């Protein structure tokens, strides 16, 4: 069965430090899609990135980068030079190609301390 594990429940770092949020997934499909979402303290959910299983290129968007490794079934998210505004809960999610049901990880609460 599909599963997403975010082992880090809560992380605190000091502003300007780099931080990596881990996401490990399980799936039997060869075609699947991975997502990251951000939920700031205000509560809304914001899409960050989508990656399909055939595209293992790492992605960088400003201070954000994602490392997708099929060999370890991981899709990790790194924030470089963290800022207080990065404080949020971050969710990793998986969709298998067989259906459009989405499975979220339990989330990682990130605190960026000034």
Partner 1 sequence: EAQVTQNPRYLITVTGKKLTVTCSQNMNHEYMSWYRQDPGLGLRQIYYSMNVEVTDKGDVPEGYKVSRKEKRNFPLILESPSPNQTSLYFCASSPGGGISSNQPQHFGDGTRLSIL
Give CA–CA dist 21/37, Å, rounded. 12
- In order of 64, 81, 84, the CA distances from 17 in angstroms are 13, 5, 11
Q: How far is the CB of 48 from partner 1 (least distance, A)?
A: 9
Given the complex with partner 1, which of 16 and 47 has the nearer CB atom?
47
Nearer to partner 1, 18 or 56 (CB): 56
Residues that bind partner 1 in the complex, under the rule CB under 8 A: 6, 33, 37, 43-47, 50, 52, 91, 93, 95, 97, 99-107
Shortest distance, position 82 Cβ to partner 1, whole Å: 22
What torsion do the CA atoms of 73, 101, 65, 12 make, to the nearest 10 degrees?
-90
């Amino acid at each position: 069965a599909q599963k997403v594990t975010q082992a880090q429940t809560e992380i605190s770092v000091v502003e300007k430090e780099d931080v990596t949020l881990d996401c490990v997934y399980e799936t039997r499909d060869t075609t699947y899609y991975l997502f990251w979402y951000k939920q700031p303290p205000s509560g809304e959910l914001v899409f960050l990135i989508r990656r399909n299983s055939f595209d293992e290129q790492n992605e960088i968007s400003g201070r954000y980068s994602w490392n997708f490794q099929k060999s370890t079934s991981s899709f990790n998210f790194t924030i470089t030079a963290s800022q207080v505004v990065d404080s949020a809960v971050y969710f990793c999610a998986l969709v298998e190609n067989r259906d459009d049901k989405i499975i979220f990880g339990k989330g990682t609460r990130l605190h960026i301390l000034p």
